[in-house]
């Protein structure tokens, strides 16, 4: 069964180092909390708000050993007025036998406000 694992994090500045570090932190937390291996991941979609342009956040996935061949795509979020700024969102499509309620969705930093009803992160 393929399930979606959601996550998001915010950054303070639009610079390559901060974006890559934050994205890597988020991805690693999603991996840890859902006990994932690269072989289970069908694909990862990463979206960013309009104010993030310094680097493709997918670069962070390539820093994780064994994740070289996981398909990753970056895209822009819809620029909804008054929405959360400087936000990186991740949707991992994973093969798992877990039911929906067992999936751990991870929202860090300022992104915790996005889905407090889904945020099961142990890093709160």
Q: Which tokens sit at 95?
A: 């093969």
Query: Annotated catalytic, 107?
Result: yes
Query: Annotated catalytic, 87?
Result: no
pLDDT of residue 124: 44
Closest CA to 91 of 33, 40, 47: 47
pLDDT of residue 104: 95
pLDDT of residue 113: 86
- What 3-state class would DSSP assign to 62? helix
Q: Is the dihedral of CA 119, 109, 26, 73 positive or negative?
A: positive
Looking at domain 2-113, its CATH superfamily turns out to be RutC-like (3.30.1330.40)
Nearest 5 degrees, angle CA 118-CA 15-CA 23?
Answer: 30
Query: Annotated catalytic, 85?
Result: no
Sequence spans of domains, the chain: 2-113
pLDDT of residue 114: 86
pTM exceeding 0.85: yes
| Continuous H helices in 1-124 | 16-34
* Cβ contact 96:1 at 8 Å: yes
Catalytic hit among 18, 28, 74, 112: 74
Catalytic hit among 24, 33, 87, 89: 89
Catalytic hit among 3, 24, 87, 107: 107
Query: Annotated catalytic, 28?
Result: no
- What pLDDT tens digit does each residue of the chain (124 aa) get? 999 999 999 999 999 999 999 999 999 999 999 999 999 999 999 999 999 999 999 999 999 999 999 999 999 999 999 999 999 999 999 999 999 999 999 999 988 888 877 766 665 4
* Cβ contact 11:18 at 8 Å: yes
Query: Annotated catalytic, 74?
Result: yes
pLDDT of residue 120: 66
């Amino acid at each position: 069964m393929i399930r979606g694992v959601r996550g998001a994090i915010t950054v303070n500045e639009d610079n390559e180092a901060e974006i890559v570090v934050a994205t890597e932190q988020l991805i690693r937390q999603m991996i840890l909390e859902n006990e994932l291996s690269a072989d289970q991941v069908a694909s990862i979609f990463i979206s960013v708000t309009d104010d993030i342009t310094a680097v493709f956040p997918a670069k962070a996935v390539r820093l994780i050993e064994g994740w070289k061949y996981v398909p990753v795509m970056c895209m822009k979020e819809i620029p909804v007025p008054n929405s959360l700024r400087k936000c990186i969102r991740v949707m991992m499509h994973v093969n798992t036998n877990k039911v929906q309620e067992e999936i751990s969705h991870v929202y860090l930093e300022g992104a915790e406000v996005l889905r407090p009803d889904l945020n099961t992160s142990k890093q709160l």
